[in-house]
Amino acid sequence: MEPKLDLDPEAIRRCRKAAGAVAESVLRFASERTTASIERATLRLIGVEGADADGVPLVNRVVDCDAAKSILPSGISLAFGKAMVATGLDASGTARAVADGKLDLGKAVAGEDEARERVAALARAAGGRVAAVAAARNAFLDRLGEGRRPLLYVIVASGNIYEDVVQAKVCVKAGAQVIAVIRSTAQSLLDYIPEGATTEGYGGTFATQANFRVMRTALDEVSEEAGRYVRLCNYASGLCMPEMASLGRMERLDVMLNDALYGILFRDINMQRTLTDQAFSRLVSAAGGIIINTGEDNYLTTADAREAAHTVLASQFINEAIALRCGLRPWQLGLGHAMQMNPNDEDMFLLEVAQAQMAREIFPESPLKYMPPTKFMTGNIFRGHVQDALFSLASVMTGQGIHLLGMMTEAMHTPHIHDRYLALEATRMVMTAARNLSEEMCWKPDGKVRHRAAEVLARATDMLEQVEAEGLFAALEKGRFADVARSPKGGRGLKGVHAKSKGYWNPVEDVLRDAVALPGRSE
């Protein structure tokens, strides 16, 4: 898309410079720490699967055992490798022996060199599987394509994975290009991932490896029927962020919600835990060819969209800077934003278009994720359908990459399948009718759209330089994003953060860094 807003290149340069400094500081902090969830993800990637008789995942039983308390600062890999060599068991068998109390992880005696080679070989095999899964996705895309962008993104959230499959297939046949399975309410606060396929969830369906596999299989089937590859989306967030990213990589998810600040602001997860987990989870997504979606759209549900638009742009710059330094490429950055202004405000549509066009021009290679109006949706479904039509028009005329469909019953209940069908029908009609509108228009040099974009960019520049000066932790403590303040020592999950010892070793991380050509080793 040709630039239309004549944005100040110096302001954009200053934003990226400040965001880069913030990202470097955050990643330095993360590089000096590990977490329980990173170590669990490492065990999953080297082959630990299953749960004990009580349904507790084996990775949790290993990382939570008494011996692990002193082991985790050095990484779980070496101690677990020694246990594997000592027992002669595979990864899952060794983990089960720990869970059953038959093996004390801290007393496993084996040669260090042999243990390192055993785990390093498993890490290399995990890297090979990462590459194979990405290759399988690319083969589907080469053969079937995925249709024009914006990709139409539809949510299913029945609580039952098998019912989700039925709804997803109907949506694909009606035109959906991305299916997002919404997680059961508050799963992000669980410090474990349930096992197996699930049929009961509140407000969504539990994210599990089995559920990922069920939906991926179903979408592959309907992709063949529809003649286009359908992407699957779920969450790599919450207290199990690194594990979710790892399971998504294993089961060929294509899109995962993975934001640097969302869990801190909206789930009160400790910022030290979140930002440390973030670095590892994004490394996994980078190696797996997964598109991440960020959550800036949520800022405008707690702050005013007219006054706080610059905080969205500032966060997009920070998310971009962290992601690129974790090995993600621009085409993997589904930076989030939303249409959340009061629909009764004069020129609301012009201001929303200014924000969307500005984001498109600043991040030209990124498949921006555009969220529908929700804050001002009411029980009036007819007005809601019009709001969603305006959203679809703004999306197509500003070249967004991923378009989350609005539902006219948003404020009433979890949308029914016919609500989704109507949303797809209306969105496809609007986007077909206005497909090339942008190519036929430009914005007045002294008009409201250009003025609004310049104003938002200028305020984002000031904000980013302020965050750079005071540090991201301090900025979060002062409530600079979404009008929500958090403490570095508050929230959930801080006990799971461990300062790395001098001998920390994680061969899985090393393999992933090699896969995306990032410098540095875990030791």
Catalytic residue numbers, as ranges:
262, 297, 369
> What is the three-class DSSP state of 436?
coil
Contact 287, 248 (CB under 8 A): no
Residues contacting 242, CB < 8 A, separation 6+: 35, 37, 38, 40, 41, 236, 277, 280, 281, 284
Residues contacting 300, CB < 8 A, separation 6+: 308, 309, 312, 338, 340, 375
**Lookup: tokens for 235:** 């969450």
Rounded alpha-carbon distances, angstroms, from residue 357 to 111, 369, 453, 470: 59, 13, 8, 30
**Lookup: tokens for 43:** 């065990």
**Lookup: tokens for 366:** 């990124």
> What is the three-class DSSP state of 409?
coil
At 256, give phi and psi (nearest 5°): -140, 135
Residues contacting 507, CB < 8 A, separation 6+: 77, 116, 119, 120, 123, 522
Long-range contacts of 441-450 (CB under 8 A, 24+ apart): 441/397, 442/4, 443/4, 443/5, 443/357, 445/6, 448/347, 448/350, 448/351, 448/354, 449/5, 449/350, 449/351, 449/353, 449/354, 449/357, 450/5, 450/6, 450/354
